[in-house]
Structure 1
Amino acid sequence: MAPMKNLNLNIDNSFTRELPGDPILENYIRQVQQASYSFVEPQKSKAPKLLHVSKDLSDQLGLSEKDIQGGQFLNIVTGNEPLSQSKPYAMNYGGHQFGNWAGQLGDGRAINIGEGIKGDKRYVLQLKGAGKTPYSRRGDGRAVLRSSIREYLCSEAMFHLGIPTTRALSLSLTGDKVLRDILYDGNPEYELGAIVSRVAPSFIRFGNFELYSQRGDIENLKRLTDYTIKYFYPHLGAPSKTTYIAFFKEVMRRTLDTIIHWQRVGFVHGVLNTDNMSILGLTIDYGPYGWLEVYDHNWTPNTTDLPQKRYRFANQHNVGLWNLYQLANALYPLIEELEPIEEILESYESAFTTKYLKMLRSKLGLEKEHPDDVELLSELDQVLTLTETDMTLFYRKLSTFSKNKPKQGLDTIMDAFYVKEELNHEIKQKWNAWFVKYSERLKLEDAADEQRKIKMNNTNPKYVLRNYMAQLAIDAAEQGDYGLIDQFYIMLQNPYKEQPQFEKWFAKRPQWAADKVGCSMLSCSS
C-alpha cells in the first residue's frame, strides 16, 4: 500500500522546503507578504465519484488499474486523503490582467497536494476546485463540472497534439453543488461541483516573479529565481547575472515556441494574463479557450475580452511579447542591465517571423525555402477570409491536393466552407489563382504527393476539441452520461491519425452551435 500512498512518487517537497512560506496557518482571505505559498488543507468532498482517469498519464506514473480503482486514489485526487510526507499548499503570485496590474492573485481554487520524483522527472500534483485558500479573494475555491470537463479533455488533447502543456490525471465529482453565474448577468444557478487533478513539473508563473518585484522584495525574488533555475533550468549553471540573462532568454524561446504551436493548430487561449503564463513555457489554465473554426484573425472565445479582443487569435504572439516585457521588468533588479534584456526582447519579433513562416510552410507541405513563399502565404491568408472557412478542415483536406491538377483544388477543400453558396465567381477566381501558384510551388519540392500528404497530416490535426464537442460532453455528463468524455479522450489521443470510427467528428461546427452558450463564446466563470 505504501507506494500507492504517494501515487508512486518519491516525495521531495522542494518548493516548500527551499522557498519562504506564510507563517499564518489559518485559512482566511488576506494579503500574504514575503512568502511563496501558504499551507492549506483541501475542502473535503462530500460524495466523491471518479469520472475519468488519463490512462496515458497514469501509466507514466506507474499506476495500475487496481491502484486507480481502489478507494485511496479517489480520496487523494478529491482532497479527502493527503499524500504522506507532504503538506498541501497554495502558491502566492500576482499578475497583469487584461494589461493592468492586479496585485496579489495566487491559487484561488487550486491546491498543490504533493511534489515528487519518478525516474528522472519531477511532478507536482494539484487539485483544481478543492476549496478556498488565502488567495480566493471573492471566490469559493470550487470548480464546476462544466469547466472541469473542458480542462481535463483539453489538457490531454494538447499533450497529444505535441504542444507543451500541463496535464490532467483525473476528473471527479465532489458531490457538492456550486453556485455560478455563467453569463455574469445576475442569474446564478447551482451546478455540479468537480475537481481536476492537474500535473506539471511546476506551476510557477510569470506572476510569481512579478509579485516579489512589485513589492520590492528582491531577496525573495532572487530565492525564487535561483530555485527555478536550479530545478528546471540546471544547464544554465550557478546563479549570476549571466545566468539570469540566459534564463530569461530561454523562457522567451519556450514561450514563443508554444505560441507558434497554438497558431499551428488554431488554438486560442482566451486569457493570456501574466498569471496564466508558465515559466516553463507550458500551456496553463484552460478557461475560456477555443479552437479557431471559422478562420478569423479577430476571434476570441472569451466574453470578458470584448470589445477590445486583446487575446484574439492573431494577437497571441504580441501578447506573449508584452507579457515577457513584464517578466523582464520583474527580473531587472537581479540583472541591472538594460542592454541584454532589450536584445532578447528585440529578438522575439525576428524569431517569431522566422518560426512562424517555417510553421506555415510545414502546414502547406513545403520543406524548401523560396523567396515567393511570403507572397503565397499572404495570398492564402486573404482568400481564407473571403467566406467562412473552417481552418482544421481546410488544412487537412489540402493534403489530398494533387500538384498536377490545380483546377481541382477548390473541389478538394469544398467541405471546409460553411456557406458554399457564398462562393461567387470572384471568390472562386481568387481561389483558383491561388491553387495555380500553389501547384507551381509544389513542383519545386522533391516529395511526391503521397509523401507530402503524410507530412502535412503529421502537422495538421484531423481532430481537435471544438467547443461544441466539449459542450455535448458537458450536457451528457450533467445527466449522468460520461460516454462522450471517454470517446473524446480516446479520439484526441491520436489527433493526426484518420481513426475512421470517429469520422463524424471531422466536421464543421453545426449551425445550432454558432451562437450557443459554451460553444461560440465563454466566460471565465468556473
Structure 2
Amino acid sequence: MKLNIKNTFITNLPADPIHENTRRQVEEACYSFVEPKQTQNPELLHVSKAMLENLGISEADADSDTFLNVFTGNDIYKNTQPYAMCYGGHQFGNWAGQLGDGRAINLFEVHHKRKQWTVQLKGAGETPYSRTADGLAVLRSSIREYLCSEAMYYLGVPTTRALSLALTGDLVLRDMLYDGNAAYEKGAIVTRVAPSFLRFGNYEIFAARQDIGNLRKLVDFTITQHFPQLGKPSKESYLNFFKEVTNRTLDMIIHWQRVGFVHGVMNTDNMSILGLTIDYGPYGWLEGFDYGWTPNTTDRQHKRYRYGNQPNIGLWNLFKLANALYPLIEEAEPLERILERYKVDFEMKSLAMMRSKLGLETKAVSDTALIQDLEDNLFLIEIDMTIFFRKLSSFKKDSDSKVDGIQLIEAAFYDLKALKQPVIDKWQDWFQRYADRLRQENISDERRKEKMNQVNPKYVLRNYMAQLAIDAANNGDYTLIDELFQLLKQPYGEQPENEKWFAKRPEWARHKVGCSMLSCSS
C-alpha cells in the first residue's frame, strides 16, 4: 500500500510540546501527538470501495495485513505522526471549555487526484482530550456512523466520509442509556475521511483563551489550505471566510431538512468549518413528520436540537464563530450583516427546497401558503415523511384530486383509523389546490415525477434499519451491514428488489432502544 502522504496540518501549526498521553489542558497548540491503542484481534468488517479509490488504494491493498493494521491503529504508516486536535465548544448552549479529539486520532493526510483528504480513526484510544473517557468506540455506534456518513454522501448531503469499519477484538464497557446499567460491548473503529475535520470549536478555544496569535495562525492556515479562492489572509479575506462558512453551513442544514435528517447534537464542536455533516452520534431520521422531534435522550426535555430548530441552531453556532473571529476583524457590523443575511437566505433557500420537493419549477405568490398548509396537514395525524413525498411524485394534475390524492398517500399514514372526515376534508382541499398549482407549470406529469424523485429519496437509513444491522452484528452476522450499504448508495433509485425497505417504521421499533431515541454513548 503506497499513499501520497502530506503533513500540512502538523507542519504549519503549533504542536503540544508535551508528548505524554495524559489528560490535561493543552495550551498554545492546535494538536497533540498521540499513538492509537494497540487492538487485540482486529477484524475488518466492511470497506468503502469509493473511498479506496479516492485515496488511491487498490482493492488488493485493502485485503492486506498492512491495511488492516494501519486502519485499526496497530501500525503507524511510514513517515507519519498521528495526532489529536485541540478545540473547545458550546455544548447545549453553554461554554464547555477545552474538549478536543477525545476518541478520534488523525493518522495523516493523503493527496490523490488533486484532492487532499485527512484520514482519522474514531475509537482508537485515549488522547490528552479524553477527559474521563477511554477514547474507545463500540460496534453499535460505529455501524451507525459508517453507514450514515456514506448514505448521506449518496443523498447529496455535504458530509464527512467513511473508509472502513473494523472490530478491535476488545470489549468496551458502556452505560448506553446513562441509567447505571453498564455492560461490555464489542469494540470497533471507523476510519473517517474528510478534507479537514476542523470545527468551529478549533477557533473558539483560542479566542476564549485570548491566544490571538495562534487564532490567526489557524485561520490563515484554513484559508490557505481550504479556501484559497479568498486570496491571501487579510481582514477582507477573514470576512469572506466567515461568509463562506455561513453559506456552507446553511446549505448543509437545508439538505438536512430536505431529507428529514436530525443531527441530534449540534454543539459548536460538532460543526464543520467546511459545512460538512460531522460526528454521527445520536442522529435520527424523521419517521412521522414532526418539527419537535429530537433523537437525543440528553435533549429530551428541552429539545434544543429538534428537527425544526436546526436552522436556528446553525445561526446560533455561527454567531459563536463570529465572536471567535472578531479579534481578527475588530468590527462587529460586517459580521452582523453576514449573520442577518443567513436569515434572509434561509427563507429563500427553504422555500426553493420545498418547491423542488413539490415539483414546482416556477414561482407563485401562493406557494408559501400552499407549503404552510401542507405542513399543517402533515401534523394532523402521524404520516411518514419519506413515503409521503415519494408517493406525491406520482400525483397527476388532471386526476380527480379529491379522491386520488388521498389514495396515493394512504401508505404513508401510520394509523388509517385516525383518518377521520375532518382530516380527509383538509387533505382533499389541499390536493385540489396542489392540482391547480401544477396546472400552472409547463411540465408533464412524467417529467415532474422524475425531477421530484431526484430530491425526495425513497430509501434513508431509518433507525430501525440500523438497529437490525447492529443486532445481527452483535450475534456475529455482518451481512446486513453490506446489504444496507449497497441499498443506500442509490437512495433515489426505485430498486424494486429492495422494496421491503420502503416501508414505515414497524410498530415494534416505536419505543425500542436504538430505534426511537439514542444517547451520546459510544
- The two structures have a TM-score, normalised by structure 2, of 0.99
Q: Distance in 1 between matches of 2:221 and 2:110?
A: 16
Which of the numbers 475, 480, 484 marks the counterpart of 2:480?
484
Which of the numbers 506, 509, 512 marks the counterpart of 1:513?
509
Aligned to 1:354: 348
Counterparts of 1:251-400 in structure 2 under 5 Å?
251-400=245-394
Do structure 1's residue 412 and structure 2's residue 408 form an aligned pair? yes
Q: Distance in 2 between matches of 1:86 and 1:40?
A: 11
Q: CA deviation at 1:63?
A: 2.1
Which of the numbers 39, 46, 59 marks the counterpart of 1:65?
59
Contact kept in structure 1, 2:260 and 2:285, CA below 8 Å: yes
Aligned to 1:500: 496
> Which amino acid letter does the alignment assign opposite residue 442 of structure 2?
D
> Which amino acid letter does the alignment assign opposite residue 225 of structure 2?
Y
Which of the numbers 178, 183, 192 marks the counterpart of 2:177?
183
Cα root mean square deviation, aligned: 0.6
- 1:332-390 superposed Cα distances (whole Å, 9 cap, x missing partner): 00000111001000111100000000000000000100000000000000000100000
Aligned to 1:433: 429
Q: Distance in 1 between matches of 2:56 and 2:230?
A: 31
Aligned to 2:469: 473
Q: CA deviation at 1:48?
A: 0.2
- 1:218-258 superposed Cα distances (whole Å, 9 cap, x missing partner): 00000000000000000000111011000000000000000
> Which amino acid letter does the alignment assign opposite residue 257 of structure 1?
D
| Unpaired stretches in structure 1, ≥5 consecutive residues | none
**SS of aligned partner of 2:311:** helix
Contact kept in structure 1, 2:374 and 2:430, CA below 8 Å: yes
> Which amino acid letter does the alignment assign opposite residue 376 of structure 1?
L
Q: Distance in 1 between matches of 2:62 and 2:338?
A: 46
Which of the numbers 143, 151, 162 marks the counterpart of 1:157?
151
Q: Distance in 2 between matches of 1:446 and 1:76?
A: 56
Aligned to 1:247: 241
| Unpaired stretches in structure 2, ≥5 consecutive residues | none
Q: CA deviation at 1:501?
A: 1.2
Q: Distance in 2 between matches of 1:398 and 1:215?
A: 53
Q: CA deviation at 1:64?
A: 2.0
Q: CA deviation at 1:65?
A: 2.0
Aligned to 2:449: 453
Which of the numbers 44, 47, 51 marks the counterpart of 1:50?
44
Q: Distance in 2 between matches of 1:325 and 1:306?
A: 24
Aligned to 2:521: 525
> Which amino acid letter does the alignment assign opposite residue 440 of structure 1?
D
Q: CA deviation at 1:12?
A: 1.3
**SS of aligned partner of 2:36:** coil
Q: Distance in 1 between matches of 2:465 and 2:282?
A: 14
Q: CA deviation at 1:55?
A: 1.3
Q: Percent same amino acid at aligned positions?
A: 64
> Which amino acid letter does the alignment assign opposite residue 488 of structure 2?
L
Q: Distance in 2 between matches of 1:260 and 1:483?
A: 33
**SS of aligned partner of 1:310:** coil
> Which amino acid letter does the alignment assign opposite residue 398 of structure 1?
L
> Which amino acid letter does the alignment assign opposite residue 457 of structure 2?
P
Q: Distance in 2 between matches of 1:118 and 1:80?
A: 24
- The two structures have a TM-score, normalised by structure 1, of 0.98
- 1:89-130 superposed Cα distances (whole Å, 9 cap, x missing partner): 000000000000000000000000111211210111000000
Equivalenced residues, count: 520
Q: Distance in 1 between matches of 2:366 and 2:113?
A: 48
Do structure 1's residue 173 and structure 2's residue 142 form an aligned pair? no
Aligned to 1:82: 76
Counterparts of 1:216-255 in structure 2 under 5 Å?
216-255=210-249
Q: Distance in 2 between matches of 1:120 and 1:254?
A: 21
Q: Distance in 2 between matches of 1:305 and 1:197?
A: 28
Q: Distance in 2 between matches of 1:136 and 1:61?
A: 29
Q: Distance in 1 between matches of 2:38 and 2:506?
A: 40
Aligned to 1:144: 138
Do structure 1's residue 92 and structure 2's residue 119 form an aligned pair? no
Q: Distance in 2 between matches of 1:354 and 1:400?
A: 26
Q: CA deviation at 1:83?
A: 1.5
**SS of aligned partner of 1:199:** strand
